[in-house]
Chain A
Amino acid sequence: MSRQASGLQAWFLQRLSAVYLLLFVVYFFTSLLVHGDFILYEWQEWFAHPVMTIATWLFFVALLLHAWIGIRDVVIDYIHPPAIRLLFLSLLMLLLTGCGVWMSFVLITASAF
C-alpha cells in the first residue's frame, strides 16, 4: 500500500489539485479570449513574467499529481495481476516524473528570472 497517496491523503490531494487546476484553466482561457491572437513576443513575454512562470509550473505540478492519483485508480480497477499492475504503475510514475522534469526545463529557460 503506497504511503505517498493512500486513501484519505489521495482523496484530499486530488480535490486540492483540482481546485488549483480549475482556477488556472479559467484564468488561462479568459486571457486567451480577452487578448485574441498572440504574436510571438507577447506570448513569450507572458510566460517570462516570474509570477506566470511560477503559476504555470504549479499548474503542471498539480496536473501531474492529479493525473497520478486518477490514473492509479484506473490501473487498480482494471489491472489485477500484481506484477503487471506494478509494471504499469512504475511506467506511470516514470512518465509523469519525466514530464515534470521536461516542463521544468521549458519554463525555467523561458523565464525572465
Chain B
Amino acid sequence: MHLNLLQIRLPPAGWLSILHRVSGVFLFLAIPWLIYLLDLSLGSGEDFVHATELLQSPLGSAVILVLMWALCHHLLAGIRYLLMDIDVGVDAPIYTNSAWAVLILSPALAVLLTAVVL
C-alpha cells in the first residue's frame, strides 16, 4: 500500500473520504468514554463534579476539541454522501465545492461545539 502521506496527492473529495473513515474510527474509540462520562454525570453529586472536571481539564478539553472535529467532519461529509445517494451534488463543480465546504466548515463548527460543551 502506498502510504507516504507526504507524497500522496489527492483531490479534496479524496481527502474527504479518508478523513471520513479516520474520523469514524476515532468516534468509535470514543464510545466507551462517552458512556462512562454519561454514567458519571447521571450519578451522585461527586460523580457529576468529577465528570465536569474531566471534561474541563487540559487533556479533556483537547480531546473534546479533536472529538468535536471528528464529529463535525464525519457528520458533514456523511450528509454530503447522503445527498449524493439521491443524486444531489454529483457533478462538478458542486462535487468539489461541497468537499471544500466540509473540509473548511468542520474545524470551524468544531471550535463552536467545543465552546458549547466546555
Q: Do A and B bind each other?
A: yes
**Which positions in A face B, CB cutoff 8 Å?**
15, 18-19, 22, 25, 29, 32-33, 40, 43-44, 47, 60, 63-64, 67, 70-71, 74, 95, 99, 102-103, 106, 109-110
8 Å CB interface, B27-44 against A: 27-28, 31-32, 35, 38-39, 41-42
SS class, residues of chain B in contact with chain A: helix
Which residues in B have some Cβ–Cβ distance to A below 8 Å? 21, 24-25, 27-28, 31-32, 35, 38-39, 41-42, 45, 48, 71, 75, 78-79, 82, 85, 113, 116-117
B48 touches A106 (CB 8 A): no
A110 contacts B42, CB within 8 Å?
Answer: yes
Contact of B116 among A29, A40, A67, A95 (CB under 8 A): A29
A-B contacts, 24 of them at CB < 8 A, read: A15-B85, A18-B82, A19-B82, A22-B78, A22-B79, A29-B116, A32-B116, A32-B117, A40-B45, A43-B41, A44-B41, A44-B48, A67-B24, A67-B28, A70-B24, A71-B25, A74-B21, A95-B32, A99-B32, A99-B35, A103-B38, A106-B38, A106-B39, A110-B42
